[in-house]
Amino acid sequence: MGYVLGWIYSRWHRRRIDPVRVSGLEHLWIRPLASSQSDAKRLVVMYVHGGAFALLSPRFYSFFGATLAAAVDKELSNCGSNVQAEIFMANYHKAPEYCFPTQPKDVLAAYEYLLDHEGLSTDQIILAGDSAGGGLVMSTLLRLRDSKQTHRLPLAAIVSSPFVDFSESIDPKCALKCILTRTIAKACRVAYHPLCAERAAWADASAVHCNLEGLPPVLIQAATLDYLFQDSERLAAKAKADGVTDWEFDVHDGVSHVFSLFPSLILPYAEVGVQKMAAFAAKKFVEK
């Protein structure tokens, strides 16, 4: 279903979908149908999909990738740039067959592919992801920093409804109109990280409990009716407590988990979330 929508949206937004295999996994490029821009002018948003660490794939998300690419193009044009964005939909092994730290290793390998095989510079790449994918984006940033590879950190990052707190201290009222529940969230944690009950084993799987200094600018997009809303709140608060001043906390009232992903025909307000992501990406690219 997602791939069919992706094909339709790609044609609508004048994009093509090109599969590529990296580390034994299929990833997808969503690129302009025709582009004469030089390598030096490329902007790539590497998007890590959600799905509770266990479900979905880049193909399911291809429609959203095409939508995001078109939105970034529009914002770049508003900034006076003629660069056309490319989206790299990254894949990773799924739980429960594969557990932490396999998934962040997969995402890091995909990012390194962009640097080492595609020849992109770090200021041409923005990492993005939703839900579980947002958590994996944060893990990737922390791994790059902690392995003394700060020179390989991307230009910026975007996380939407990120899964970044393993503490389970969630206000149940946040879940009243959300597809996620306490039971589902716990099952996701256990499948992804079998030692999730041991705080000492969380490491970068629970970014809220990590030092966030030295990371690139991050846009945290949150929804007030999301079960994971407090994950976003705590991530923003932790960044502030750690002295980070260039992150943005983008809160949307009256919508639920990963609202930006919905086709606008189903949820018109999704366009607002996509535009916020695109504006952040374009601004950071032009400012560099």
Residue 163: both structure tokens together: 């899964």
Cα–Cα distance, 211 to 200 (Å, whole number): 15
In contact, 257 and 231? CB cutoff 8 Å: no
Cα–Cα distance, 191 to 285 (Å, whole number): 37
- Could you give the dihedral angle defined by the CA atoms of residues 283, 284, 287 and 288, in that order, rounded to the nearest 10 degrees? -160
Neighbour-count burial of 199, counting CB atoms closer than 10 A to its CB (0-12 exposed, 13-18 middle, 19+ buried)? exposed
User: Which residues does 21 contact at the CB level (< 8 Å), separation at least 6?
Assistant: 27
Active site members = 131
User: Which residues does 14 contact at the CB level (< 8 Å), separation at least 6?
Assistant: 32, 33
Task: Give the neighbor-by-neighbor strand order of the sheet with 125-130.
Answer: 15-22, 25-32, 85-90, 43-48, 125-130, 156-160, 218-223, 248-252
Residue 190: both structure tokens together: 């256990």
Half-sphere exposure of 165 (CA within 13 A, CB side): 20
In contact, 86 and 17? CB cutoff 8 Å: no
